[in-house]
């Protein structure tokens, strides 16, 4: 048997080998850099990369470990960070030429947490313009003629291409779940308020989420252990007792979980291969799964999401977009204009609708199911690089702030990856991970 390529290790495996002295942080980082060198020209996952600086972080990590001091759970493990997330050591350009060369004074809260856990920040991954729709340069590693999805395009593609074991991205509509589905990796949008957004380009306080990409569920849990926690700089995070996501994710289920299969109003617009795949999946789950038709009250979820996103993005980014003039895409300027037209009472009504849906979903999870199972995307990654695909299957869960995860469990047309999306109860991210583990082993078995 050939020795596995080091860069293909998961973060959990790499961290364990580094802790045990079986490989060094420099070896791990160099292996990732080699992989990047071999594939970056095709995939284009990085907005900024500085191999020498990455290696110097890795050397520091090795020296630290050799000195016998305690190490964190990501010690020596390379991580890619979406380029809307501030880093003191790299530019953060938010996918727009208008901010070319912008260099933040300090790290975002999540970057500080990664560093405290010992991670090597290997580089900044490509985002669409302001994490909205206008695409960056990244291509799908499974088919270079197809979009990787967006807006966290580079983070998903870099993990899929084994350039890094893990990466972080963000989601306001479908920006983690959609690229995870298209690129065939795990991607998680944690509960709203679980992970701090301080130092991340604010699009929409109500809808913004930061979350991880990985090639294993254990790595997703590991990343939540590192990223989750209260931060006074993000008023939507709350003080809470520390949870051990890895431990809870790996506990046995007493009773099998019960899945609500939700087709959403977008079912008829899905690709035929994806519809068939999901109907087959529901059938395979048999008694563990029931079809749940979303009641009428959710029908306004998509327009409510759109109104809140347009308003809050115009609030946060309108002046910047005005200043950018022609450097800003027409698509983005249209969104600013749309947001500015919405009345405040319409905005508050949309917020109240979202609250109502959140409460109704809470009842669903209390009374009827462990998780919702639903498509992550309308189908496999569409052809072309001028758009990033449809986020409609994600909007409702971004609106309601529930934890969502995309599992690379299926394939569609041409054998391309297709994600299964699981949704859990608000704040119950650990149980969602455990449910995902159960599903993965059930479908493998």
Q: Does 343 bind a second copy (CB under 8 A)?
A: yes
Give the Cα separation of 432 and 424 in Å (integer). Answer: 5
Q: Write the DSSP symbol of residue 384.
A: B
Q: Tell me how far, at minimum, the Cβ of 95 lies from a second copy, in Å.
A: 22
Give the Cα separation of 439 and 197 in Å (integer). Answer: 30
Tokens linked to 376: 């992550």
Cβ nearer to a second copy, comparing 269 with 355: 355
Q: Does 337 bind a second copy (CB under 8 A)?
A: no
Considering only 177, 314, 354, 416, the residue that binds a second copy (CB under 8 A) is 314
Q: Could you give the residue numbers annotated as active site?
A: 82, 151, 175
Q: Tell me how far, at minimum, the Cβ of 309 lies from a second copy, in Å.
A: 11
* Residue 236 phi, psi dihedral angles, 5° rounding: -90, -5
Q: Tell me how far, at minimum, the Cβ of 347 lies from a second copy, in Å.
A: 4
Give the Cα separation of 321 and 45 in Å (integer). Answer: 25
Helical (H) or strand (E) element with 260: strand 259-261
Q: Does 315 bind a second copy (CB under 8 A)?
A: yes
Considering only 117, 166, 309, 311, the residue that binds a second copy (CB under 8 A) is 311
Tokens linked to 21: 């002295």
Q: Tell me how far, at minimum, the Cβ of 311 lies from a second copy, in Å.
A: 4
Give the Cα separation of 437 and 216 in Å (integer). Answer: 10
Considering only 1, 241, 242, 344, the residue that binds a second copy (CB under 8 A) is 344
Cβ nearer to a second copy, comparing 77 with 317: 317
Q: Tell me how far, at minimum, the Cβ of 343 lies from a second copy, in Å.
A: 6
Q: Tell me how far, at minimum, the Cβ of 70 lies from a second copy, in Å.
A: 33
Please give the residues from 348 up to 407 whose contact with a second copy meets the rule CB under 8 A: 348-349, 352
Cβ nearer to a second copy, comparing 188 with 304: 304
Q: Does 340 bind a second copy (CB under 8 A)?
A: yes
Give the Cα separation of 187 and 136 in Å (integer). Answer: 19
Helical (H) or strand (E) element with 303: helix 301-324
Q: Does 202 bind a second copy (CB under 8 A)?
A: no
Give the list of residues 6+ apart from residue 326 with CB closer than 8 angstroms, or none: none
Q: Write the DSSP symbol of residue 290.
A: E
Please report, in angstroms and rounded to a whole number, the separation of the first and last CA atoms in the chain. Answer: 25
Judged by CB under 8 A, the stretch of 164-172, 340-348, 396-404, 422-430 that binds a second copy is 340-348
Give the Cα separation of 410 and 392 in Å (integer). Answer: 19
CA nearest to 150, candidates 180, 188, 192: 180
**Residue 425, SS3?**
coil
Q: DSSP of 204-220, one letter per residue? A: -TTT-EEEEEESSHHHH
- Quickly count: other Cβ atoms within 10 Å of residue 275's Cβ: 18
Cβ nearer to a second copy, comparing 37 with 334: 334
Considering only 93, 208, 312, 390, the residue that binds a second copy (CB under 8 A) is 312
Tokens linked to 305: 């999401």
Cβ nearer to a second copy, comparing 48 with 346: 346
Q: Write the DSSP symbol of residue 299.
A: G
Q: Does 227 bind a second copy (CB under 8 A)?
A: no
Strands (E), 22-118: 46-49, 78-82
Q: Does 258 bind a second copy (CB under 8 A)?
A: no
- What track of x and - describes contact with a second copy for positions 148 through 187 (by CB under 8 A)? ----------------------------------------
Cβ nearer to a second copy, comparing 11 with 308: 308
Considering only 345, 363, 367, 386, the residue that binds a second copy (CB under 8 A) is 345
Q: Tell me how far, at minimum, the Cβ of 307 lies from a second copy, in Å.
A: 8
Considering only 258, 266, 346, 358, the residue that binds a second copy (CB under 8 A) is 346
CA nearest to 420, candidates 187, 147, 219: 187
Judged by CB under 8 A, the stretch of 292-300, 307-315, 375-383, 408-416 that binds a second copy is 307-315
Q: Does 332 bind a second copy (CB under 8 A)?
A: no
Considering only 19, 320, 342, 364, the residue that binds a second copy (CB under 8 A) is 342
Give the Cα separation of 232 and 218 in Å (integer). Answer: 28
Cβ nearer to a second copy, comparing 154 with 401: 401
Say if residues 411 and 418 touch (Cβ distance below 8 Å).
yes
Please give the residues from 22 up to 81 whose contact with a second copy meets the rule CB under 8 A: none
Tokens linked to 431: 């149980």
Judged by CB under 8 A, the stretch of 38-46, 83-91, 335-343, 406-414 that binds a second copy is 335-343
Give the Cα separation of 138 and 127 in Å (integer). Answer: 9
Contact positions vs a second copy (CB under 8 A): 307, 311-312, 314-315, 318, 339-349, 352
């Amino acid at each position: 048997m050939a020795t596995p390529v080091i860069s293909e290790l998961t973060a959990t495996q790499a961290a364990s080998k580094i802790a045990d002295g079986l490989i060094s942080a420099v070896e791990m980082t160099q292996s990732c850099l080699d992989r990047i060198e071999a594939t970056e020209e095709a995939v284009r996952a990085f907005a900024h990369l500085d191999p020498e600086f990455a290696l110097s972080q890795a050397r520091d990590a090795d020296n630290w470990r050799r000195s016998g001091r305690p190490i964190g759970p990501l010690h020596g493990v390379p991580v890619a960070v979406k380029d809307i997330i501030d880093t003191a050591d790299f530019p953060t350009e938010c996918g727009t030429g208008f901010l070319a060369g912008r260099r933040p004074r300090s790290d975002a809260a999540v970057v500080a947490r990664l560093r405290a856990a010992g991670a090597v920040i290997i580089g900044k991954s490509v985002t669409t313009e302001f994490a909205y729709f206008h695409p960056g340069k990244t291509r799908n590693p499974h088919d270079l003629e197809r979009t990787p999805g967006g807006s966290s395009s580079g983070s998903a593609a870099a993990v899929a291409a084994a350039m890094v074991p893990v990466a972080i991205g963000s989601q306001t509509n479908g920006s983690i779940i959609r690229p995870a589905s298209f690129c065939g990796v795990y991607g998680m949008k944690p509960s709203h308020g679980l992970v701090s957004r301080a130092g991340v380009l604010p699009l929409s306080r109500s809808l913004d989420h930061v979350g991880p990409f990985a090639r294993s569920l254990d790595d997703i849990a590991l990343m939540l252990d590192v990223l989750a926690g209260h931060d006074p700089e993000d008023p939507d995070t709350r003080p809470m007792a520390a949870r051990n996501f890895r431990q809870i994710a790996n506990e046995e289920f007493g009773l099998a979980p019960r899945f609500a299969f939700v087709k959403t109003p977008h079912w008829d617009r899905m690709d035929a291969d994806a519809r068939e795949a999901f109907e087959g999946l529901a059938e395979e789950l048999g008694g563990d799964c029931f079809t749940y038709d979303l009641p009428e009250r959710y029908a306004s979820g998509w327009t409510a999401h759109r109104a809140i996103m347009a308003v809050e993005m115009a609030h946060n980014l309108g002046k910047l977009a005005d200043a950018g003039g022609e450097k800003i895409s027409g698509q983005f300027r249209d969104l600013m204009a749309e947001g500015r037209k919405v009345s405040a009472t319409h905005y508050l009504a949309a917020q109240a609708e979202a609250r109502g849906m959140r409460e109704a979903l809470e009842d669903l999870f209390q009374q009827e199911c462990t998780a919702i199972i639903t498509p992550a995307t309308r189908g496999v990654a569409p052809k072309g690089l001028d758009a990033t695909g449809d986020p409609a299957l994600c909007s409702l869960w971004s609106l309601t702030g529930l934890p969502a995860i995309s599992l690379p469990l299926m394939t569609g047309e041409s054998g391309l990856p297709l994600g299964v999306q699981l949704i859990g109860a608000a704040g119950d991210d650990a149980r969602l991970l455990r449910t995902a583990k159960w599903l993965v082993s059930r479908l493998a078995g």
